[in-house]
Amino acid sequence: MADNPFLIYRERLDSYAAVRDGKLSDQQFVDIVSDLDARVAEVDGHGFTITPVVDGSELAAAAGLDIELVIKDETHNVGGSHKARHLFGAALHLLVDEALGAEPADRLAIASCGNAALGASVVARALDRPLDVFVPMWADAVVLAALAANGASINRCERRKGEAGDPTYLRFREAVSAGARSFSVQGTDTTAAFDGGRTLGWELADQVADGGGLDALYVQVGGGALATSASRAMPDVRLHPVQAEGCAPLRRAWDALAPEFDFEAAAADPDAYMRPWDDPHSLATGILDDITYDWLPLLRRTHASGGHPIVAPESSVVDAHRLARQHTTVEVCPTGSAGFAGLLTEPPASGERVGVLFTGIDRS
């Protein structure tokens, strides 16, 4: 467990505040992390380790990009993506709170059709807590089988007449209102999700430090927690959130904020800026959240970094996945390579060092 990021970077985690405040010892915190990680390994075959970076020079050349491309490969992380990082971080908060006397969380809940649900099911089983997963009617059979194998309760959600917004998210919110504990990767619902997600950014920052760091980071965006977490961990790197043209509520909110970018006004009246996207569609099905739930902290980070959101044409989403599979050894899915579509759409300046996150394994 020496290379477990939740141990390496533990003093940076928000959940470590209990140690800083003298309520737990460092050894107690290490034991919580180590015990949970061992149970994750029993469920998934391995626990958390530092994930590799891959030289993207062949991919950049194939795309006609005159840049140094660094790829962070999350495809063989727990659950086959980065998502379990967020949930493990949330689980640590839960366990620390319970160690300090909080009422145990009897039931967990998440809305997801893919990797987030899989990550949640692994960590929930490691916690030995029941998990309700709210999925769309078209959810992938392979994913559903894996969820069932991990003991999750699967709830298929149809859109109700006259209902606006994602029905899976609406049913999830109803479950939380009824007493379930939110166990999602959206920071709006599970604020601790950002904590675990930052480990990816801390790892990447250390891995590229010898080469002078990164100039820019292009990150695919659905709900927004990944890009927000990574940018918080790498605050000096220019951030470009990437969405597909078939579902781009983040760029619409950015354009509504421009040119003043009055984030306080946006926080006071969020519905004026972030609205559900009609008919989300893309090959990158994992980023089809009709609302970018963590849009406000994400756009704050984007603006502060000097970046801006990018909307990739569907042809670029398709090309990004094709090129990624042809010119790297990473078994990435179309959602996981969608950040690279942002580089195809708006290429970085010549000579820049740019990072992308290949985040989900191709299960097809």
Residue 285 phi, psi dihedral angles, 5° rounding: -65, -20
Q: What is the pTM of this model?
A: 0.95
DSSP letter (8 states) at residue 137? T
pLDDT reported for residue 1? 60
The yes or no reply on domain 53-81+193-358 and CATH 3.40.50.720 is no
Block means of pLDDT (10 residues each) for the chain, length 364 residues? 91 98 98 98 97 98 98 96 97 97 94 90 97 91 92 92 86 95 93 96 97 96 97 98 98 97 97 94 94 97 98 98 98 97 98 97 89
pLDDT reported for residue 140? 84
pLDDT reported for residue 309? 98
> Scanning the structure block, which residue is given the tokens 């960590």?
123
Domain ranges, ordered by start, for the chain: 53-81+193-358
Q: What tokens appear for 249 in the block?
A: 């509520």
Q: What angle do CA 134, 139, 144 make, to 5 degrees?
A: 75
User: What does DSSP say about strands 131-136 and 153-157: parallel, antiparallel, or unpaired?
Assistant: parallel
Which long-range contacts link 5-10 to residues 24+ away (Cβ below 8 Å)? Answer: 5/48, 5/49, 5/50, 5/85, 5/199, 5/200, 5/202, 5/203, 6/33, 6/37, 6/48, 6/88, 6/89, 6/92, 6/196, 6/199, 7/33, 7/34, 8/50, 9/198, 9/199, 9/202
